[in-house]
């Protein structure tokens, strides 16, 4: 084993009291954090020494210590003992107190309690922390979970998300109001047909599509993190002639195995971007696949976005429909970024068979304007420091959202959780 990896192994064994364990498996993988920045993760699987019988590949027996180490940040990202069973010789939290856990988390991460992370939940054997900026949430979120057993032995430690650097935060006052951005708020209230399994029918309702709005009210930013790095296309795919082409589907590699040299040499840590040439080539790949697999559906599909992943490019298509439903017919094409050819594709058509027996939605009786007036008391605009891909900074935004909707037939206010 490389001496740099051995040093991490030794550190893990000491820190987590793994004298009763043996290192069974390990590997280095290239990962990307919630801001899309790359790093290398050293993954270790430690088996209890008392376990002598053979174990199936990729299965971890009870008591296994699964440990992930961030090589670039030189810290442990997670330590998870399978099924909460630890054979560790070390008791990290003898008093099982918040103070003990806070001190240990600070030591492990280099982050500071109250300045960087705050307590959000305390249970008998579990403590959770989250990050914010002066009491304002951040997005992508960042959190820590620590669990321990009756003896005070660590059974679970995980960090999720990326902590903002202080120089990345553009602090400002939150002065945005719903009244200032009323036209935008109205646009986000959309008529959607929700499937109701209880009634075996589709229910039409006006609901808010949640988005972030910059504090100056000039930009909207998608709610879901992955949507913030997507390239929007919105192009209807049309063709005159079908194409005879056999597509050989390949296994999609979701993990990216890396070498020791790349990991410690900080190789290829740049953010992934799609070039104009790649976009044009990818459009042709999608068009050819549609011509071959859906020859009679010219003009029925819209290519609406591309997403760059570590080992492939995702092209997302949606079937054009007059009456939007929360369920949309979708096609995802996985493209080899080197060969610019189809690796695989996935159609959610089979899912729609489940709803074939559902009664169609009733004709709406409530107008959009009437629904908006009813929704006004329920619409929220919560301050959030959001990582902005354009500036590379955390900027203050308002999260526009509502937990309620308006039944488009009866006009009643209903909880989205009930739909």
Segment 225-284, tens digit of pLDDT: 888 888 999 999 999 999 999 999 999 988 899 999 999 998 888 888 899 999 999 999
Last residue of one domain, picked from the residues 133, 165, 197: 165
pLDDT of amino acid 182: 96
- Higher local confidence (pLDDT), 161 or 30: 30
Same domain, 96 and 185: no
Last residue of one domain, picked from the residues 165, 194, 221: 165
pLDDT of amino acid 162: 83
What's the mean per-residue pLDDT of the chain? 93
Same domain, 147 and 171: no
Q: What is the mean pLDDT of residues 110-116?
A: 88
Cα–Cα nearest to 63, from 89, 27, 28, 37: 89
- Cα torsion 18, 22, 28, 29 to 10°: value is -80
Print the domain residue range for 391: 166-260+269-419
Same domain, 334 and 200: yes
pLDDT of amino acid 328: 82
Q: Are 148 and 105 in contact (CB under 8 A)?
A: no
Last residue of one domain, picked from the residues 165, 193, 210: 165
Same domain, 96 and 223: no
Same domain, 40 and 184: no
pTM: 0.84
Same domain, 141 and 252: no
Could you count the other beta carbons within 10 Å of the beta carbon of residue 121?
A: 11
Same domain, 12 and 107: yes
Same domain, 312 and 411: yes
Q: Looking at 37-83, which runs of residues are DSSP E strands?
A: 38-48, 65-70, 75-81
Same domain, 60 and 156: yes
- Give the total number of structural domains in the chain: 2
Same domain, 93 and 137: yes
CB neighbour list of residue 376: distance below 8 Å, 6 or more residues apart: 178
pLDDT of amino acid 100: 96
Q: What is the mean pLDDT of residues 271-299?
A: 95
- Start-end of H helices in 335-405: 349-352, 368-375
Q: How confident is the model at residue 73 (pLDDT cuts 50, 70, 90)?
A: very high
Encode burial over 224-235: b for 16+ CB neighbours within 10 A, e otherwise: ebeebbbeebee
Structure tokens at 1: 């084993």
Same domain, 201 and 282: yes
Q: Greatest CA span in the chain, whole angstroms?
A: 73
Q: Are 287 and 312 in contact (CB under 8 A)?
A: no
Alpha-carbon span 172 to 214, nearest angstrom = 11
Alpha-carbon span 321 to 15, nearest angstrom = 57
Q: What is the mean pLDDT of residues 77-97?
A: 95
Alpha-carbon span 386 to 393, nearest angstrom = 8
Same domain, 200 and 311: yes
């Amino acid at each position: 084993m490389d001496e740099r990896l051995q040093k991490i192994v030794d550190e893990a064994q000491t820190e987590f009291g793994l004298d009763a364990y043996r290192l069974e498996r390990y590997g280095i993988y290239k990962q990307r954090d919630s801001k899309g920045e790359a790093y290398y993760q050293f993954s270790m699987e430690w088996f209890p020494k008392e376990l002598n019988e053979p174990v199936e590949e990729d299965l971890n027996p009870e008591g296994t210590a699964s440990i992930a180490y961030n090589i670039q940040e030189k810290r442990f990202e997670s330590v998870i003992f399978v099924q909460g069973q630890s054979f560790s010789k070390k008791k990290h939290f003898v008093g099982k107190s918040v103070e003990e856990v806070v001190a240990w988390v600070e030591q492990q991460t280099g982050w500071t309690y109250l300045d960087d992370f705050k307590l959000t939940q305390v249970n008998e054997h579990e403590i959770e922390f989250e990050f914010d900026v002066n009491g304002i949430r951040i997005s992508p979120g960042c959190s820590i979970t620590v669990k321990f057993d009756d003896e005070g032995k660590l059974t679970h430690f995980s960090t999720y998300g990326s902590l903002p650097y202080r120089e990345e935060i553009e602090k400002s006052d939150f002065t945005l109001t719903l009244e200032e951005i009323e036209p935008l708020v109205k646009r986000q209230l959309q008529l959607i047909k929700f499937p109701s399994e209880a009634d075996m029918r589709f229910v039409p309702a006006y609901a808010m599509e949640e988005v972030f709005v910059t504090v100056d009210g000039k930009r909207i930013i998608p709610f879901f993190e992955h949507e913030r790095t997507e390239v929007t296309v919105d192009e209807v795919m049309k063709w005159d002639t079908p194409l005879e082409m056999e597509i050989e589907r390949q296994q999609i590699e979701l993990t990216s195995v890396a070498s020791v040299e790349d990991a410690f040499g900080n190789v290829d840590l740049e953010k992934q971007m799609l070039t104009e040439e790649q976009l044009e080539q990818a459009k042709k790949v999608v068009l050819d696949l549609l011509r071959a697999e859906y020859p009679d559906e010219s003009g029925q599909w819209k290519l609406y976005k591309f997403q760059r992943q570590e080992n492939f490019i995702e092209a997302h298509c949606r079937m054009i429909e007059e009456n939007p439903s929360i369920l949309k017919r979708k096609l995802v094409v996985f493209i080899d970024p080197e060969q610019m050819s189809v690796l695989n594709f996935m159609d959610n058509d089979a899912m729609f068979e489940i709803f074939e027996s559902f009664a169609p939605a009733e004709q709406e009786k409530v107008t959009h304007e009437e629904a908006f007036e009813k929704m006004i008391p329920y619409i929220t605009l919560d301050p959030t420091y959001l990582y902005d891909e354009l500036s590379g900074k955390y900027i203050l935004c308002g999260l526009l959202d509502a937990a309620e909707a308006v039944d488009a037939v009866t006009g009643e206010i209903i909880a989205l959780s009930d739909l």
